[in-house]
A and B are shown apart, each in its own frame.
Chain A
Amino acid sequence: MAVKIEEKNNLTVCYIDGEIDINTSPDIKKAFEKLIAKKVPKIVINLAKVTYVDSSGLATLVEILKNMRTYGGRMRLTNMAHKIKSLFEITKLEKLFEIIEDEAEAITTFI
């Protein structure tokens, strides 16, 4: 698993590569804690290269969102594989997150 962070159009775009599971979730949380400490206002997380998300991975994304909301920050998830999107639906999390089909759209419409 790897997290790559880029700045695009005054937005922070994060690319996660690999699995978000019990083993990798703590590292993902740490990577985002740095952004949260800086109170980054808008984060787009591109999940195109995420092959698997387990419950701890979902909970980690919820935790990141929760922490961002404490300072009014917003997060968007993009490029989710169908299998992963259905996981968000089963756990009713699709209504909690802003899930956008692709990164470009998420960036241009992120007001």
Chain B
Amino acid sequence: MDTEKEVIISARNVVKKFGERAVLNGITLDIYRGETFVIMGGSGCGKSTFLRHLIGALKPDSGKVSVLGKDLSGLDEDALDAVKKKIGMCFQSAALFDSMTVGENVSLPLREHTKLDRSVIDIVVKMKLEMVGLRGFEDLMPSQLSGGMRKRVGLARAIVMDPEIIFYDEPTAGLDPIVAGVIDKLILDLSKKLSITSVVVTHDMKSVFSIADRVAMLYEGRVLEVGESDTVKNSKNPMVRQFIAGSPDGPIKFFQQKDDYLEQLIK
């Protein structure tokens, strides 16, 4: 890896437990400015929980998460808000407000966090909707849009404040392959054109290798492998290979009860 690259997100030995269950078991990762970094792994591997640590929604039990040079655990609410203004979040469900028009949804962060005039905000909204191919849709309601269009509106809202980093949570989940391809292309375009760092959590293999500069695979709350997209794609690690191939048989067990079933029944 190029040593001159600037680390924009850093996680060090991040541990998180929900009750007795450790979801993150000591994750250490660096993400560089301007790259598209994909975090992949099966359901329950901890990738969404890890993402929530990166956006400051969860704090680790131990370890450290730094974003844009700030240790998130040490920040008060105002300082954390300042960091959050520099990041955009694209949720799995698009998370639009159904009672607001497309334009109102996209402009919401600007109306809440800035003193810009309405006329200027309207122009910004038009510019952002143009970037996601939805100019002219300002006055429609979310219920009038397809799933892919809703995601694009979510994306327009995520970039409305010119973030330095965008986090995507399963951006192509539930979309047909063509629409998923459109979303992937948009993620790539926006990352390159606007020089945004993109962090994408997904288990859509097609998506992973079409957008990622680097990939990390998580398994049981640990980083199983991290590296350039092609390196991970051709990994010799049998777990990584099984995951990429989507094979039910292999070292990754999908039924992992530690106690004996019959014993548990009569316990």
* A residues apposed to B, CB below 8 Å: 22, 25-26, 29, 54-56, 58-60, 62-63, 90-92
Q: Give chain B's interface secondary structure class.
A: helix
Q: How far does the Cβ of A56 sit from chain B's closest Cβ, in whole Å?
A: 5
Q: Give 8 new A-B contacts, CB below 8 A, not counting A25-B120, A56-B116, A92-B130.
A: A29-B120, A54-B162, A59-B120, A59-B124, A59-B127, A90-B193, A90-B194, A91-B130
Instruction: For the complex, give the distance between the alpha carbons of A63 and B117 in Å.
Output: 10
A-B contacts at CB below 8 angstroms, number: 45
Which residue of the partner chain, among B123, B161, B194, contacts A22 with CB atoms under 8 Å?
Answer: B161
Q: Are A26 and B123 in contact (CB under 8 A)?
A: no
Q: Give chain A's interface secondary structure class.
A: helix
Assess whether B114 is interfacial by the CB under 8 Å rule: yes
Known contacts A22-B116, A92-B130; A55/B193 CB under 8 A: no
* B residues apposed to A, CB below 8 Å: 110, 113-117, 119-121, 123-124, 127-128, 130-131, 160-162, 193-194
Residues of A within 8 A of B123 (CB): 59, 62-63
Q: Are B116 and A55 in contact (CB under 8 A)?
A: no
Report the nearest A residue to B192, measured CB to CB. A90
Residues of B within 8 A of A29 (CB): 117, 120
Residue of B120, B128, B161, B193 contacting most chain A CB atoms (<10 Å): B120
Q: How far does the Cβ of B129 sit from chain A's closest Cβ, in whole Å?
A: 12
Residues of B within 8 A of A59 (CB): 116, 120-121, 123-124, 127
Q: How far does the Cβ of B4 sit from chain A's closest Cβ, in whole Å?
A: 19
Q: How far does the Cβ of A41 sit from chain B's closest Cβ, in whole Å?
A: 22
Instruction: For the complex, give the distance between the alpha carbons of A79 and B173 in Å.
Output: 45
Residues of B within 8 A of A55 (CB): 124, 127-128, 160, 162
Report the nearest A residue to B131, measured CB to CB. A91
Q: Are A22 and B114 in contact (CB under 8 A)?
A: yes
Residues of A within 8 A of B114 (CB): 22, 56
**Can you report 28 A-B residue pairs in the complex whose CB atoms are below 8 A from each other?**
A22-B113, A22-B114, A22-B116, A22-B161, A25-B120, A26-B117, A29-B120, A54-B162, A55-B124, A55-B127, A55-B128, A55-B160, A56-B120, A56-B124, A56-B162, A58-B127, A59-B121, A59-B123, A59-B124, A60-B120, A62-B123, A63-B119, A63-B120, A63-B123, A90-B193, A91-B130, A91-B131, A92-B130
Chain A to chain B: the 7 pairs with minimum beta-carbon distance, closest first? A59-B123, A59-B124, A54-B162, A59-B120, A22-B114, A90-B193, A62-B123
Q: How far does the Cβ of A55 sit from chain B's closest Cβ, in whole Å?
A: 5
Q: Are B115 and A26 in contact (CB under 8 A)?
A: yes
Instruction: For the complex, give the distance between the alpha carbons of A86 and B12 in Å.
Output: 36
Report the nearest A residue to B190, measured CB to CB. A90
Report the nearest A residue to B116, measured CB to CB. A56
Q: How far does the Cβ of B130 sit from chain A's closest Cβ, in whole Å?
A: 7
Instruction: For the complex, give the distance between the alpha carbons of A105 and B117 in Å.
Output: 33
Report the nearest A residue to B130, measured CB to CB. A92
Q: Are B160 and A25 in contact (CB under 8 A)?
A: no
Q: How far does the Cβ of B34 sit from chain A's closest Cβ, in whole Å?
A: 14
Q: How far does the Cβ of B159 sit from chain A's closest Cβ, in whole Å?
A: 8
